[in-house]
Amino acid sequence: CTPIYRNHGYAPSETELGEVVVGIDTRDTVQDVIGPPSASGVIREDAWYYVASRWQTRGMYAPEVLNRELVAISFDDAGTVRNIERYGLEHGRVVALNRRVTDDNIKGVSFIGQLLGNIGNVTADQLLGQGPNGN
């Protein structure tokens, strides 16, 4: 069966990247030329990262990433572009995610409370005896 393709994120194309000149462009000019970064900094943004990835889902298998383009633009203290690096999918590492989660001590509604909490609608198929598993 044919796979389904999906694109996520955004990375500037070669032509747009060409317009960014190391040493001259500042954060604002970079933002005007190629837009806000996918992951941008907060206090003193030293590096901006633009990430674009293409995903493929085949049948019942989990979606896998086909390729990922990461453009890293780093700035020096004066805020001008210091370096433009490119990372690909091959630089990424497969990391096993940690199962532990910081627990939150807010107690939820009890199981029964949720179950009976939103009883309310009558559907025609119950009345006419042809339930979803219609006999």
Residues 93-132 that bind other proteins (CB under 8 A): 93-95, 97-98, 100-102, 104-106, 108-109, 111, 114-132
The span from the CA of 11 to the CA of 78, in Å, is 25
Name the amino acid, one letter, at 121.
N
Residues 45-64 close enough to bind other proteins by CB under 8 A? 45-47, 49, 51, 53-54, 57, 59-63
- At 49, the amino acid letter reads Y
- Count of CB atoms situated within 10 Å of the CB of 50: 23
Q: Which positions from 3 through 42 interact with other proteins, judged by CB under 8 A?
A: 4-10, 35-36, 38-42
- Nearest approach, Cβ of residue 52 and other proteins (Å): 9
Question: Which strand (E) or helix (H) includes residue 8?
Answer: strand 4-9
> Is the CB of 21 or the CB of 58 nearer to other proteins?
58
Q: Is 44 in the site for other proteins (CB under 8 A)?
A: yes
Spatial distance between the Cα atoms of 90 and 53, rounded to a whole number of angstroms: 13
